């Protein structure tokens, strides 16, 4: 989209994906994870390396800054800083409050245990094999009904980088099932999911910045590219459409 404020989002878009995340613990984590990934353009290994202490205050009281200790293009270990939007700050706050995280890795495994409902078991009278003895077990055998429940266990270690791509695909499939990706067919979804990886948020941010009119230097700085080769490669098709010929043909109709 060229105008993110006026144009309706199309295809696989971050807005629909964030809204598709549930309000349970896995959903809160995934919403914060996706929001931070899109804000920062971090690679999977950098994303899972974020710790609670890496988030610091910004000039905007509703936003935060993320201190990146080291990244792929940082051979000297100088580190970098990324911006976290108020949207990401709210998502992080909801996740960490629900998960009880106040230090250590920010994004962690959540184990889910689901228990089925169980009907009540009434007490019953059991006659013994002896005619002189009767066992009345009505007070010891009855079992009350047990409702279905879900229990969550938040791990202490960080997510594995290899889990990021599957998380993105799960969120996308959920958004489609909810009808939030209305311009996509099932065939479109199947085709697009094959190309989704942990790197997709970084590529998507790179392309969105280009379409929004940001120059190459600004994109390289925001995503910490050392060379223009990769950002230009990711934007090759968009550059053709937005180039001189594309602009002229569009005006000519």
- Name all domains of the chain by residue range, CATH numbers in brackets: 14-107+159-252 (1.10.443.10), 110-154 (no CATH)
Pairwise CA distance, residues 43 & 164, whole Å: 10
pTM of this structure:
0.80
Task: Quote the tokens at residue 236.
Answer: 């090759």
Q: Which residue shows structure tokens 């079992």?
A: 143
Count of CB atoms within 10 A of residue 218's CB?
12
* Rounded distance between C-alpha atoms, residue 99 and residue 93, angstroms: 10
> Which residues pair with residue 64 across a beta bridge?
57, 84
Residue pLDDT tens, the chain, 253 long: 455 556 677 788 999 999 999 999 999 999 999 999 999 999 999 999 999 999 999 999 999 999 997 656 555 566 789 999 999 999 999 999 999 999 999 999 999 888 888 888 776 665 555 555 555 544 456 778 878 888 989 999 999 999 999 999 999 999 999 999 988 999 999 999 999 999 999 988 888 888 888 888 888 888 888 888 887 887 776 555 555 444 444 455 5
Selection from 62, 66, 52, 46 nearest residue 96 by Cα: 52
Q: In terms of DSSP bridges, do strands 108-115 and 80-84 run parallel, antiparallel, or are they unpaired? A: unpaired
Q: What token pair was written down for 83?
A: 């911006």
């Amino acid at each position: 989209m060229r105008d993110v404020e006026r144009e309706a989002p199309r295809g696989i878009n971050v807005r629909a994906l964030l809204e598709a995340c549930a309000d349970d613990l896995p959903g809160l984590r995934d919403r914060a994870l996706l929001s931070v990934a899109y804000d920062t353009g971090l690679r999977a290994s950098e994303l899972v390396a974020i710790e609670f202490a890496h988030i610091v205050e910004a000039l905007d009281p509703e936003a935060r800054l993320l201190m990146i200790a080291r990244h792929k293009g940082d051979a000297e270990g100088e580190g970098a800083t990324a911006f976290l939007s108020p949207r990401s700050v709210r998502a992080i706050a909801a996740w960490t409050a629900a998960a009880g995280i106040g230090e250590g890795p920010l994004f962690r495994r959540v184990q889910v245990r689901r228990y089925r409902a169980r009907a009540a078991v009434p007490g019953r009278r059991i006659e013994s094999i002896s005619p002189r003895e009767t066992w009345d077990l009505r007070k010891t055998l009855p079992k009350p009904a047990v409702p279905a429940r879900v229990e969550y266990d938040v791990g202490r270690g960080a997510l594995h980088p290899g889990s990021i791509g599957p998380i993105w695909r799960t969120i996308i499939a959920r958004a489609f099932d909810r009808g939030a990706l209305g311009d996509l067919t099932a065939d479109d979804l199947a085709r697009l999911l094959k190309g989704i990886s942990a790197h997709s948020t970084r590529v998507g941010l790179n392309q969105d910045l280009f379409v929004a009119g940001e120059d190459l230097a600004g994109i390289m700085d925001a995503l910490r590219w050392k060379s223009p080769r990769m950002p230009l490669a990711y934007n090759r098709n968009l550059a053709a459409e937005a180039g001189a010929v594309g602009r002229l043909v569009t005006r000519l109709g």
